[in-house]
Structure 1
Amino acid sequence: MDGASWQLDEGDEVVPGRIALQRLGGGELYETYLAWDSRLFAVIVVKILRPDVLGEDWARRRLEFEAELIERLGHPVIVRGFGAVLDGPRPHLVLEHLDGPTLRSLINRQREGPLDEVLPLALHMCSALHYLAAEEVVHLDVKPLNIIMGPQPRLIDLSLARTVAQASGMTGPVGTTAYMAPEQCRPGQAGQVGPATDMWGLGVSLYEAVSGHRPFRDPASAEQVAAGTASDEDRYPQLVDEPTPLPRHLPSPLPELLAACLTRDPGGRPPAAELAVGLEPLVARLPRPVQTRKRLLFR
């Protein structure tokens, strides 16, 4: 649920030298704006703490942790940062502006995404998750809305990220319900939260991208949960449901690879590098554009 808004209009100053251009959205903790940075002389994204959480120590700590994490991480497929303002009236992160569509928008537009777009993107995401695991970081919110497509794909939004040590100590659910692994739904009861948790989120995202639907029924709404009318099984269908069938036309071993990502036991899911190895032959068989003098052909 979104909190209070800064209600910045085009031309309003975020801080000196940084001008708001357009509101992009946000969540419970942050509000994001497209902005112009006069020092960088470039369009950037600012991720500002919402005004109603400015006085909360936990919110400040989350901002500081995310700023430190983005500064420490350096990977071609993970969103880049250009600093942070941790004090003052509008504490915020400064992030690169990515012009490509999200995987969410592709699914909304085409339902079943073309394999020649989805499979190479999946390899890029495997690369990012392999790196995060090596850095002992868990993203905890891998989903189509946080995957940017295009020539330079990115995994974005580290708002919920934890170190592996922090994640293993989680006591309550964290994430976007429809993409949460069983151990995210019931930390400590359904397995330990860790890098395998992100493989579940990637598996659900890819499943949706190649089929047009998620593998499990929609979870109960926030209103139903707040009213106490939703059972635990309705809130987290992934704890009890089996994945719905994938389209029969999908090439082997793609269905088997996605099914492995959705193993309820986190120890049974493939690491990112293993999934990439399984996907590479499928990517190699995709039609490749060949530039000729007159026109673009496919072989």
Structure 2
Amino acid sequence: MIGRVFNNRYQITERIGIGGMAEVYRAQDNVLGRMVAVKVMLPQYAADQSFTQRFKQEAASAANLQSPYIVNVYDWGQDEGTYYIVMEYVRGSDLKTAINQRGAINQRKVAEIGSQVCQALSVAHGLDIIHRDIKPQNIMVQPDGNVKVMDFGIARAKNSTKEQTSSVLGTAHYISPEQAQGKELTATSDIYSLGIVLYESATGKLPFDGPDAVSVAMKQVQDEPVPPRELNPEIDPSLEAIIMKAMAKNPMERFATAKEMRSALNDYLAGRPVMLGGGFTSAQTQVMSNVPPISPMGDGTAVMPAVGGNQHGTSKSGQSHSYMSDNTAPKNNKKKIAAIVAAVVAVVALIAICAFALGGNGDSKEQIEVPDVTGQTLDEAKSAIQSAGFTVGTVQQQYSDKVESGKVISQDPMGKSKKAKGSSINLTVSQGTQEIEVPDLTGKTADEAKKLLQANGLKFKAGAAEYSDTVDKDLVVRQNVEAGSKVAKDTVVTYYLSLGSEGSSVPNVVGQTRSAATTTLNNAGFYVTYDEQYSDSVAEGVVISQTPESGSKLKADGTVNIVVSKGKESKAVSVPNVVGQSEGAATTTLSNSGFQVTTEYQASTSVSAGNVISQTPSSGSELDPGKTVHLVISTGSGSTGGGSDNSGSGGSSTSGGSGANSTGGGSGTGSNSTN
């Protein structure tokens, strides 16, 4: 594979990874001069339609997802039977490798990773796309510390129809309980998987493990995880609470959206109370769980529990212990006083927490107005934020058709709101109008072309269909915007479908014999039919004309009709009977019928001299006008005349006789002589 060039553009340079159904290579984009990653389907799956469909689906799903925390998909296609996807080349390593090398990761870094993955999932979920395979192997950590989510290989729209078995795809260590059971998935399934990723990142260990995928999947459904702080006591209770909420067995008990989970993580990173629902913060939940119940008096005044009462609680290990007991209470006054002081401190702490919750963030810092920096350049915004007494938090980039590149689209918190001095202001900065690489539509059906264009943020239009000798009927033969060119989002791309081949040129067979013409047309791939007609100019058996004419386009197995000459048309008439007529009468009859006449003379004892003895051809024969009828004229019984002309005069005589009917008498033996 090394050195191979896909689509005359992507030159493979190095293999950088391999998965269950594909290999990933680093490659050089020879058109744009940049490094890319090319994901190539393994050859054993290329012939399997279900795998190729899933491979195409990965490209179509990921290509429409635009986020700084999602690996961009640039292109995809097929080259000599090999399916490939061209993606953004991300420098760094995957999160799984980092965990394997370092063990537990700094908890603030874990929260930052979780926040960025939540932002990526928010984009996907906003398009009704569920990732289905969130795991640390699919989260790339870049040198700058930011992450990118990749491999939407089994992602699909939640309302698409597909076999039920597809819902259990994924890695067993990270799948949700409903995914392990083959149930319908929602966005909260990705949230569960992300919870496991954060659990593993913060503790260095998986919450559920086993000898095989089935046993791990069963634990996902049935077992509760060990709280992260039991594995790593340094984990902040707020972060632990976020992770455990994300990993709730019941999807309804998890964060409702990735955006909600991201807000909780950002609150933790900013030092704000983390709201987990039910009106309590994670800090309140943590403290209140270790404080004895407070009984109100009739007037509503809170009363401390009796020091001598038998109040029970539960230790971290799950064993019951007493806060204070008559049987075990020390009789030492100093210890009683210490217990009372501890109880009072607990109540004061509780009151302080309640005041914190009711009073907002409890920050004693001055509350000042946040400057509105939307529409400003990043440098201007930073300057304004710092001048107002705030700090610049995260800066994200996002495409925008309305805000000029380099200027602030939005901010969090919003301008004009009141925040503590020194708080962080997060910014989203415009990358300008998104430039989209136009996909190659050649050879695709109309539906495939439409979906591909829409997946890339482009619009479509169908042009007039046209003939093509190279592209099959009903497939795209060309497009008006060249594939690979960069255009703005929502650009209209016109595609043209093929009508199939217009056909081959019909050879010229006019002037050939019928046999030769048939052979020529058959060799060109056509059938032949023929008609016949008379022709005064074309010899019999020769082609007079053809339909279609030579040079016309005709599809293979089409039919060509040829017209073959029958020669000149016959106008023959019946020869009249002139036997027994006088020579003059016979000549007149035949001349009137259009025939020429020749004569000869001979003696006859049965036919009177001067009358016709016989004719050739005989009467009733069919003869063309202008042809000759030959007559034999009787000279009587005494002499034989010979020779003739069309005048019917002259005669011949035998030796010693006289030539009756002759003109100018002759003597001797001059038979067949004409006078």
Name the TM-score class by shorter chain.
0.7 to 0.9
Match in the other structure for 1:260:
245
Q: Choose from 176, 179, 183 the match for 2:178.
A: 183
Q: As a proportion of its length, which structure holds more helix? A: 1
| Aligned partner letter, 1:248 | P
Contact 2:57 2:153 in 1 (8 A): no
Equivalence for 2:112: 120
| Distance of 2:12 and 2:163 partners within structure 1 | 38
* Alignment pair present for 1:166 and 2:148: no
Q: CA deviation at 1:14?
A: 4.2
Partner of 2:210: 219
Q: Of residues 56, 62, 77 in structure 2, which corresponds to 1:70?
A: 62
Answer whether contact 1:167 1:193 (CA < 8 A) is retained.
no
Please give the root-mean-square deviation of Cα atoms over the aligned residues, in Å. 2.3
Q: Which has the higher contact order (CA 8 A, sep 6+)?
A: 1
Counterpart residue type for residue 185 of structure 1: A
Contact 2:26 2:37 (C-alpha < 8 Å) held by counterparts: yes
CA distance in 2 between partners of 1:133 and 1:169 (Å): 21
The 1-side partners of 2:165 and 2:25 are apart by 32
Name the counterpart of 1:280: 266
2:149: which partner in 1?
A: 155
- In structure 1, the residue corresponding to 2:23 is in which secondary structure? strand
In 1, Cα distance between the equivalents of 2:109 and 2:223?
Answer: 29
Deviation at 1:123, TM superposition (A): 0.8
Q: Does the alignment pair 1:93 with 2:85?
A: yes
Tell me the percent identity: 26
1:100–1:234 Cα change, 3 Å:
closer
2:221 to 236, 239, 263: 239
Partner amino acid for 1:159?
G
Q: CA deviation at 1:164?
A: 0.8
Q: In the alignment, residue 84 of structure 1 is paired with which amino acid?
A: W
Q: Matches of 1:221 and 1:12 in 2, distance apart?
A: 38
Instruction: Indicate if the aligned counterparts of 2:66 and 2:123 stay in contact, CA closer than 8 A.
Output: no
- Equivalent position SS for 2:152: coil
Are the equivalent residues in 1 in contact too, given 2:176–2:192 (CA < 8 A)? Answer: yes
Length, aligned pairs only: 268
2:112 and 2:161 map into 1 onto residues whose CA distance is 29
- Per-residue Cα deviation, 1:14-40 (whole angstroms, up to 9, x for no partner): 453322222122223221111111112
Distance 2:121 2:114 in 1: 10
109-118 or 133-142: which moved more? 109-118
Q: Whole-Å Cα distance in 2 between the matches of residues 184 and 273 of structure 1?
A: 21
1:125-152 residue CA offsets vs partner (Å, 9 max, x unmatched):
1111112111100101101111112334
Contact 1:177 1:236 in 2 (8 A): no
Q: Tell me the amino acid that sits aligned with residue 70 of structure 1.
A: A
**Matched residues in 1 for 2:177 and 2:99: separation?**
24
1:249 — aligned with what?
234
Runs of at least 5 residues in structure 2 that lack an aligned partner in the other structure: 273-390, 393-675
d(CA) in 2 for partners of 1:253, 1:281: 10
Could you tell me whether the CA contact under 8 Å between 2:227 and 2:244 is conserved in 1?
no
Deviations along 1:231-290, one digit per CA (max 9) or x if unpaired, are: x5455321222102312221121111111111111222102111112111221249x99x
Counterpart AA for 2:148: R
CA distance in 2, matches of 1:125, 1:168: 26
Partner secondary structure for residue 159 of structure 1: coil
Alignment gaps of 5+ in structure 1: 1-7, 223-231, 290-299
Deviations 1:144-196 (A, max 9, x none): 111112334200001111111238963452101100111111113xxx31111
Q: What amino acid is the match of 2:154?
A: L
Change (3 A) 1:118 1:137: same
2:60 maps to 1:60: no
Which position in structure 2 is the counterpart of 1:142? Answer: 134
Task: Give the aligned residue type for 2:250.
Answer: D
Kindly indicate which of the two structures has a greater share of residues assigned to strand.
2
For 1:64 and 1:44, how far apart are their aligned partners in 2? 18
Q: Distance in 2 between matches of 1:280 and 1:201?
A: 19
Q: Which one-letter code corresponds to 2:227 in the other structure?
A: P
